[in-house]
Chain A
Amino acid sequence: MPIQSLNGALRALLLVAIFFAGVWSQSSGVIEDFLWYLPDVQYLAVQHLWLTAISGGLAILVAIPLGVVLSRPSMARWAESLMQVLNVGTTIPTLAVLALSMSFLGIGTVPAVFGLFVATLLPITRNTYAGLKGVDPALMEAAAGIGMSATQRLLRVELPNALYVIFAGMRTALTINVGTVPLAFLIGAGGLGELIFTGIDLYDPVMMLSGAIPTALLAIVVDALIATVAFLVVPRGVNPARA
């Protein structure tokens, strides 16, 4: 009982605090300042999402087959060293990748998409590879023993059992991707980075936050979206979320 009443008191206090914060922001005009940027935010958020969708989509299309190929027994000799190369790739800061891709591809959307693509590719490949390698060898023996071909084993046993790990990779990669897109502004590809970096340069915190807050919200939404897809797509028997 005392804990419940304490909770109730805290909740009431929080509501009061939110109310006064609202009163303050209304009276000081901050809300109006933010609303002034709304058309910009809408336009740039769409651009932002496009950059994520194209670079992330391409990354998924390339990374999963790459992970599958690397996990094949015939590739065993090369796979580990290639994964090491990819791991080293992951440690290069995204800003550096963008700078490099700008030096080769110039300014605009194409080098930005390419840089984001490279940064997103690695986590997905790594998780696909690890997920497939992590499938219980006993399952593979059973699948082979009852007469499945290599392709049937991949499609019916390996991929379904690795799917949860693969989705975890996509979730991490795409969330980071959304958070990295603002850097693309620096090589002229637009996105919410336009408000963030301009805001910083102009010492205008409202402008900066009108870029930063939607970016954070987008990242959360993308994360939740992929989590939902994973929940629906990963078979129930191997889905910890539905156990």
Chain B
Amino acid sequence: MIQLDNLTKVFDTPKGAVVAADHISMDVPSGEICILLGPSGCGKTTTLKMINRIVKPTSGKVFINGEDTTGMNTQDLRRNIGYVIQQIGLFPNMTIEENITVVPKLLGWNKARYKERARELMAMISMEPDAFLKRFPSELSGGQQQRIGVARALAADPPVMLMDEPFGAIDPINRAVIQDEFLKMQQELKKTIMFVSHDIDEAIKMGDRVAIFREGKLVQHSAPDDLLAAPKNAFVESFLGEDRALKRLNLVKVKDVVSDEIATVKPGDTLETALARIDDYGYQNAILMVNDQRQPVGLITRAKARTTKGYCRDHFENVPATVTLEDDLRKVASLMFSQDATWLPCVDDDGRVCGQITQRAMTHHLGSRFRAREAAARNPDSTVEE
């Protein structure tokens, strides 16, 4: 959808020519978010701004939807690209409604249509239209202002959006909320988005693909998981940080790692049965007790089962925590650490046990990519199995 072909920008400064972007070539497929990531001064913002010609390219071409934009009228080009900047840039002299409808008005929509669109957008960013449309930007909080900034960019429903550190100036709590809201919107809208960030966590969270820049060059362009598992060189590796394996926890869902083999006991079973089952399955500490709907209700510890006689229903302990299939491994790891557990039961939408997730399975899953890469490095001819 967005295609950059050898895009180059050379700035003439008193100290000589500075190459801000050096033959950048990349593709962003339709409906994906591509994060441009790198330290400051690496050329990510320059690259972004060359797409809507806020920065005029020295050479190279930008294709949008297969069409070369070089010959297009700058204003027409920009009106069909949503643009969100870090400083938000809402027009303080205009009401929220006027701000949102600027582009539709420029495109010559009639009044009924753009007014309707403003209400639609407010609903989309979950802000009450009647409460906000007639207010001025200065009367809104930073987070609210940037929601309006996003709404303004979406107003004319452009297929492509450029976002320059859009959530950078918002406090961390609000930022996480807005990121989640935005991702939810994106699932429906399927815009093609270029997004500049300097925050590796944001990149991993938001990006379908991440492009890492350094000194005007595109170093690596791949999916976040590939990036973390297989950084191309020492720079990327150091930029991602030493805890990059932990960062992958965000990207892996429980359903990728869960093992559906889990033994359980019923409240009516005896502790002997429980002990036998614990030994059969080789569990170290405990076994899960479920009710007739297979919902977890308790835990029978091995120590208790060995030393006591009776029924499970009289001797169980509380289940420390459960996880769902859609949770990410970061949450799982956090729960395991806080509960001092090596495994957690996994439940489906109805709260029924559908498997378990163990620390071992997690480390194995995360490590497999690294091992595969090392194996490939040792023996480049062999096919890599993951």
Q: Once the chains are docked, how many angstroms separate the CA of A47 from the CA of B77?
A: 56
Asked if B138 CB lies within 8 Å of chain A CBs, one says yes
- Which residues of B82-98 are within 8 A (CB) of A? 83, 85, 87-95
Give the interface SS of chain A, mostly helix, strand, loop or mixed.
helix
Residues of B within 8 Å of A144, CB to CB, are: 54, 78
Establish whether residues A139 and B91, one from each chain, have CB atoms under 8 Å apart when the complex forms: yes
Known: A141-B54, A237-B94. A146 touches B79 (CB 8 A): yes
Asked if B76 CB lies within 8 Å of chain A CBs, one says yes
B148 to chain A, nearest CB (A): 12
Residues of A within 8 Å of B75, CB to CB, are: 147-149
Establish whether residues B87 and A157, one from each chain, have CB atoms under 8 Å apart when the complex forms: no
Known: A141-B54, A142-B85, A237-B136. A147 touches B103 (CB 8 A): yes
Known: A138-B89, A237-B136. A146 touches B102 (CB 8 A): yes
Establish whether residues B85 and A147, one from each chain, have CB atoms under 8 Å apart when the complex forms: no
Asked if B106 CB lies within 8 Å of chain A CBs, one says yes
Pick from A142, A156, A161, A163 the residue with the most CB of B within 10 Å: A142
Establish whether residues B52 and A145, one from each chain, have CB atoms under 8 Å apart when the complex forms: yes
Residues of A within 8 Å of B95, CB to CB, are: 237
A39 to chain B, nearest CB (A): 47
Asked if B152 CB lies within 8 Å of chain A CBs, one says yes
Asked if B150 CB lies within 8 Å of chain A CBs, one says no
Residues of B within 8 Å of A243, CB to CB, are: 138
Nearest chain A residue, comparing its CB with the CB of B149: A142
B132 to chain A, nearest CB (A): 13
Residues of A within 8 Å of B203, CB to CB, are: none
- Which residues of A100-148 are within 8 A (CB) of B? 136, 138-139, 141-148
Q: Once the chains are docked, how many angstroms separate the CA of A149 from the CA of B78?
A: 10
Establish whether residues B93 and A160, one from each chain, have CB atoms under 8 Å apart when the complex forms: yes
Establish whether residues A145 and B85, one from each chain, have CB atoms under 8 Å apart when the complex forms: yes
Give the interface SS of chain B, mostly helix, strand, loop or mixed.
mixed
Residues of A within 8 Å of B136, CB to CB, are: 236-237
Residues of B within 8 Å of A220, CB to CB, are: none
Q: Contact flags (1/0) for A208-242 with B, using CB distance below 8 Å?
A: 00000000000000000000000000011110000
Residues of B within 8 Å of A136, CB to CB, are: 87, 89
Establish whether residues A146 and B78, one from each chain, have CB atoms under 8 Å apart when the complex forms: yes
Known: A136-B87, A138-B85, A141-B54. A146 touches B103 (CB 8 A): yes
Residues of A within 8 Å of B80, CB to CB, are: 147
B269 to chain A, nearest CB (A): 67
Establish whether residues B78 and A147, one from each chain, have CB atoms under 8 Å apart when the complex forms: yes
Q: Once the chains are docked, how many angstroms separate the CA of A160 from the CA of B90?
A: 13
Asked if B153 CB lies within 8 Å of chain A CBs, one says yes
Asked if B43 CB lies within 8 Å of chain A CBs, one says no
Establish whether residues A237 and B138, one from each chain, have CB atoms under 8 Å apart when the complex forms: yes
Q: Contact flags (1/0) for B184-205 with A, using CB distance below 8 Å?
A: 0000000000000000000000
User: Contact residues of B with A, CB < 8 Å?
Assistant: 52, 54, 74-80, 83, 85, 87-95, 102-103, 106, 136-138, 152-153, 162
Cross-chain pairs A/B with CB under 8 angstroms, 17 sampled: A139-B91, A139-B92, A141-B89, A144-B78, A145-B85, A146-B78, A146-B103, A147-B74, A147-B75, A147-B106, A160-B91, A161-B93, A235-B93, A236-B136, A237-B95, A238-B93, A243-B138
User: Contact residues of A with B, CB < 8 Å?
Assistant: 136, 138-139, 141-149, 152, 156-157, 160-161, 163, 235-238, 243
Pairs A-B, 3 closest by C-beta atoms: A142-B89, A138-B87, A237-B136
